[in-house]
Chain A
Amino acid sequence: MSEADRVLIKGNEAVAFGAVDAGCRCYFGYPITPQNEVPELLSSLIPENGGAFVQAESEVGAINMLLGAGACGVAAMTSSSSCGISLMQEGISYMAGSHIPGVIINMSRGGPGLGDIGPSQGDYFQAVKGGGHGDHRNLVLAPSSAQECYDFMFRAFALAFAWQNPVMILGDAIVAQIKEPVRRVPPAGTHKPEAMSDLARAWRIEGFGGRGQNAVPRLLKSVYLVEGALADRNRLLLQKYTDMRREALFDSEYTDDAELVVVAFGSIARIARSAVRRLRAEGRKVGLFRPVSLYPFPEEALRSRARGRRFLVIEQNTGQMLEDVRLALNGVSSVLWHGVMPGLFIGASELIDPILQAVKEKS
């Protein structure tokens, strides 16, 4: 791979290129900062690739267009940020309940409410605990670089079709706006876009004539009124969410001999890694564990590193992933927490003291 194969683009632009290269053929969305480069770029890329781009009248409209296109077994996506994602929750719940795939980008911003347009990880609970009404889960991936914004789009569409489920890319204002070199090459081992429509053949709506003689009509729905039917549906969903655990992804660095392991995701994980490396250079026994999939949470991998170590969760919110880390470690190790408030732009130097403080608290 030569330097010439790399392009200097924003995380948002990497999402757009990744989407079309991964086979996305429909985009529906409504403008909101800090993710506007996604629809702006896709407004030309998608039609150039024979697909449909629609600027919806609202986020509510966008997510329901995604539901419709996903029901047809077509690779489709939307993108938004925090308050826009809140508006989409109704549709996301229906998609989950109806087994309809789709990819949703949340380049989140400071909240609650209108908040600001700065970085935040305040949508963690909403993303990984369901977010919409009823019992449902989204598969959630958290990129921390522009390259990952590109690469994760392939994984996102593959997961959406493999599990017939909404998949969310949870980024933030930093990863959305950061500009860095990106290799626009499909990551090794990723599916071909055609594989998605093959998977969808078994369930998509298309007009029953498309399935040949004696085909019977299909119905994609989430309503189950007959006594016991909804219970069965939820058992099926529970089984799916349990099986999804094998999709858990993580990164770790220096955890083998670390006394303190920093747990962080997304942009903050990248900043924390700089801090951890700096402290390692000074001989401090600190490491980093970075959940890449936030749902499923890589709890087994984290647990396997638990004995003899303490953990410091660093996240840009008031304490959300902290709960999942505590659940995963289940009292085996002590878990400390350092919160960076939403809307702040921090550097690695601002994490040095909190990490050193956590190291000190040992004695």
Chain B
Amino acid sequence: MSQTDKRLRPRNDEKLVFDANPVLNERVTHYCPGCHHGIAHRLVSEVLHDLGVADKTILVASVGCAAFTYDYLNVDSVEAPHGRACAVATGVRRARPDAVVFTYQGDGDMAAIGIGESLHAANRGEKITAVFINNTVYGMTGGQMAPTTLLGQKTTTSKQGRSLSNEGGPIRLAEIMAQLQGVTYSARCALDSVKHVREAKKAVRVAFDAQIAGLGFSFVELLSGCPTNWHLDPVAANKRIANDMIPVFPLGVFKDVADESVEGKNV
């Protein structure tokens, strides 16, 4: 970090307009080309840096591609079993009332095996932030069906395409979260375009603000690309988010107790 600071230090005639973010380290990630985890990591790390809270933050890592988030974010971390991140985060939060606590979970982790722990932590209003990466597929295990897989989407375990009659429909977690009393903020953003990425950063910021203000559980769903398991190139994967995912998973703020104008707007 100090080396980076030195390298980027402006000369006398220069004005510093952009700097390395010390919360995100310089390690090369293990993610596939075109994967959006890198962007999501960066947004979270920038928000923690902007808020100046990284040194009192605890990350609860999950299972799946994002299991190794702790390799890239310079914060104290603990690994949770598959799906249990919100329960582990509950324990962390109750043990350390002054920390900033967040989970970073994929759709298999949070919406399938861990939906019980996730909804109950949310309903209790645990003062934690959950960052939910929705790419409609199980990435690390090789492209199996997720609870968020779109109807008709072919995966290695839904080879004919997901059908409502056999597998049920995609779970819309941001909408479900918004209905729980303990949830203070629930939003869905996408990482397919610059505009959407900027909106996503705002949402992540508001979510952490809400936690730090002690309002309750905050939730941000990020529609993300998985070019490898979608068998698409990164550009086509971005198009899929815009054309196929957003119509099923509408973007927006579904609940924000600090902002009365949101009430009922998108729910």
Contact = CB atoms under 8 A, between A and B. Distances in A.
A104 to B, nearest CB: 14
A223 interface: yes
Contacts of A219: 70, 76-79
B116 interface: yes
Given A60-B87, A60-B117, A207-B56, A69 B79 contact: no
Contacts of B95: 25-26, 52, 68-69, 72-74, 76
Contacts of B67: 223
Interface centre among A26, A219, A223 (most CB of B within 10 A): A219
B58 A64 contact: no
Contacts of A68: 60, 78, 80, 87-95
Contact of B91 (A57, A60, A66, A223): A66
Contacts of B120: 56-57, 61
A91 B73 CA distance: 24
A207 B99 contact: yes
B88 A205 contact: no
Contacts, number: 143
Interface in B72-129: 73-81, 84, 87-96, 99-100, 116-117, 120, 124
A221 B70 contact: yes
Given A61-B117, A207-B76, A218-B77, A69 B91 contact: yes
A53 B116 CA distance: 19
A252 B116 CA distance: 47
Contacts of B90: 28, 54, 61, 64-65, 68
Contacts of A228: none
A195 to B, nearest CB: 17
Contacts of B81: 64, 67, 90-91, 94
Nearest to A53: B94
Say which size band chain A's interface belongs to.
Answer: 35 or more
B79 A223 contact: yes
A217 B94 contact: no
B167 interface: no
Nearest to A100: B78
A222 interface: yes
Nearest to B56: A207
A283 interface: no
A94 B91 contact: no
Given A207-B99, A217-B75, A218-B76, A91 B91 contact: no
Interface in A14-28: 25-26, 28
A65 B94 contact: yes
B88 A64 contact: yes
Contacts of B94: 26, 28, 52, 54, 65, 68-69
A98 interface: yes
Interface string A74-94: 101000000000000011001
**Chain A interface SS verdict (over half):** mixed
B84 A64 contact: yes
A345 interface: no
A210 B92 CA distance: 15
A210 B96 CA distance: 11
A302 interface: no
Contacts of B56: 206-207, 209-210
Nearest to B79: A221
B77 A67 contact: no
A205 B58 contact: yes
Interface string A32-54: 00000000000000000000101
B58 A57 contact: no
A283 to B, nearest CB: 56
Contacts of A74: 95-96
Interface in A269-302: none
Contacts of B87: 56, 60-62, 64-65, 68
B100 A207 contact: yes
Contact of B57 (A61, A69, A98, A207): A207
A66 B90 CA distance: 9
Contacts of A94: 79-81
Nearest to B60: A68
B79 A207 contact: no
A95 to B, nearest CB: 10
Nearest to B67: A223
B233 interface: no
A215 B84 CA distance: 28
Nearest to A98: B79
A6 B70 CA distance: 50
8 contacts: A60-B84, A64-B87, A68-B60, A68-B91, A70-B91, A210-B55, A221-B78, A221-B79
Interface of A: 25-26, 28, 52, 54, 56-58, 60-62, 64-74, 76, 90-91, 94, 98, 100, 205-210, 215, 217-223
> Which 9 pairs, one residue from A and one from B, show the smallest C-beta to C-beta distance?
A68-B91, A209-B55, A207-B56, A64-B87, A52-B94, A65-B91, A57-B120, A69-B95, A69-B91
Given A25-B95, A26-B91, A56-B120, 13 more contacts: A60-B116, A64-B87, A68-B90, A68-B94, A90-B84, A205-B77, A206-B58, A206-B96, A208-B75, A217-B75, A217-B76, A219-B77, A223-B79
